[in-house]
Amino acid sequence: MSERVITFGEQGELTGILSQPAVMRRGAPWLLLWNTGVQHRVGPCRLNVQLARRLAERGIPSLRFDLSGLGDSAPRADRRSGRERAASDARSAMALLEQRLSATRFAVLGLCTGADYAYNAAVTDERVTAFVCLDGLSYPTFRFGLERLRSFLSSRTRILSFLRRACGRFPALAWRRLNTSGSRRSAAAVAAGCTGSDLFGWAPPPRREAEEAMRTLVQRGTRSLWIYSGEELALYNYREQFRDMFAGIEFNDTVEVDYFKESDHLFSDAASRERLLNRVCLWMDQICPEEPDDP
């Protein structure tokens, strides 16, 4: 495996690290890895570095880079949303790999807001044939509400806290605050349409729009892996929620979903990190199996 720093973009404003295997797996996509929030391209707890190197050992190349305005990449002179900037940066990365290394297929991986960017890249660019979202899209379902209620009723502390906040106020309003607290998608970001920087607050697309996008991805044969942590209980709180969110769509074998109930949002403990790395590597093996040597 070899690694080298590379700059790219219209004016060389983007900076990244190419991880190239000693022997490239035939047909393997180039994996794009980028920032989570304002963290450097190494990823939380060096997730991107560890994943890139493990995949290189398996013959799968990657480019981990800083999105514009983050890490070692210069900011863009515009007021576009983070999602729009990420889409432009992803196109620049793919153009680089096409021109210099004859790449034809791409995969992307992101965590939290980075997962939103990965999903958006797959929806808007057909060159992306696979993507991984860590704590990505989520919409409430009937069972989600039941799980929230069960969790609330099982905690004496939560009940007492709710009653204290509800005292002297209209209970429905207090319940609404309880039901929406903890969401990383801030009300300000929703009201503003996520213009400017949406690194910490972004609104998912309307569910109907997401359903149409997922149908398009299935029709293209785009493969995706969705992994949710147990820390995001205000957004995702049971293993089958993804399937229930898109109950009207037949995914066939294009979508895989996993739920790491004991993991935090950054998959920071050693056991969760190892499980995550193994899960992603095995999934990459599955979507791009090694071809046997010619006899």
Q: What is the pLDDT of residues 223-258, one digit of tens each?
A: 999 999 999 899 999 999 999 999 999 998 999 999
- Report residue 152's pLDDT band, with 50, 70 and 90 as the boundaries: confident
Per-residue pLDDT at 165:
72
Token output for 106: 């791409």
Q: Are 104 and 201 in contact (CB under 8 A)?
A: no
Per-residue pLDDT at 162:
63
185 vs 5, residue with greater confidence:
5
pTM, two decimals, is 0.85
Task: Specify the long-range contacts of residues 285-293, CB closer than 8 Å, at least 24 apart.
Answer: 285/58, 287/107, 287/130, 287/223, 288/25, 288/27, 288/28, 288/29, 288/60, 290/25, 290/58, 290/59, 291/25, 291/26, 291/27
Domain count for the chain, please give it: 1
Query: Is residue 55 one of the residues assigned to a domain?
Result: yes
Query: Is residue 93 one of the residues assigned to a domain?
Result: yes
Query: Is residue 295 one of the residues assigned to a domain?
Result: no
Q: Are 202 and 82 in contact (CB under 8 A)?
A: yes
Question: What average pLDDT does this structure show over 86-101?
Answer: 95
Query: Is residue 177 scored above 60 in pLDDT?
Result: no
Domain ranges, residue 229? 2-287
Three-class DSSP category at 239: coil
Averaged confidence pLDDT in the chain: 87
Question: What average pLDDT does this structure show over 37-55?
Answer: 95
278 vs 152, residue with greater confidence:
278
Query: Is residue 65 scored above 50 in pLDDT?
Result: yes
Query: Is residue 241 one of the residues assigned to a domain?
Result: yes
193 vs 145, residue with greater confidence:
145
C-alpha 46/C-alpha 50 separation (Å) is 6
Per-residue pLDDT at 196:
44
CB atoms within 10 A of CB 105: 15
Per-residue pLDDT at 82:
81
Query: Is residue 122 scored above 80 in pLDDT?
Result: yes
Q: Please count the residues of the chain.
A: 295
Query: Is residue 61 one of the residues assigned to a domain?
Result: yes
Token output for 199: 């690194």
**Which segment of 163-172, 216-225, 236-245 scores lowest on mean pLDDT?**
163-172
CATH code where residue 208 lies? 3.40.50.1820
Per-residue pLDDT at 93:
97
- H/E stretch holding 91: helix 82-101
C-alpha 113/C-alpha 70 separation (Å) is 14
Per-residue pLDDT at 168:
55
Query: Is residue 293 one of the residues assigned to a domain?
Result: no
Q: What is the pLDDT of residues 73-89, one digit of tens each?
A: 998 877 778 888 899 99
- Report residue 294's pLDDT band, with 50, 70 and 90 as the boundaries: very low
Query: Is residue 265 one of the residues assigned to a domain?
Result: yes
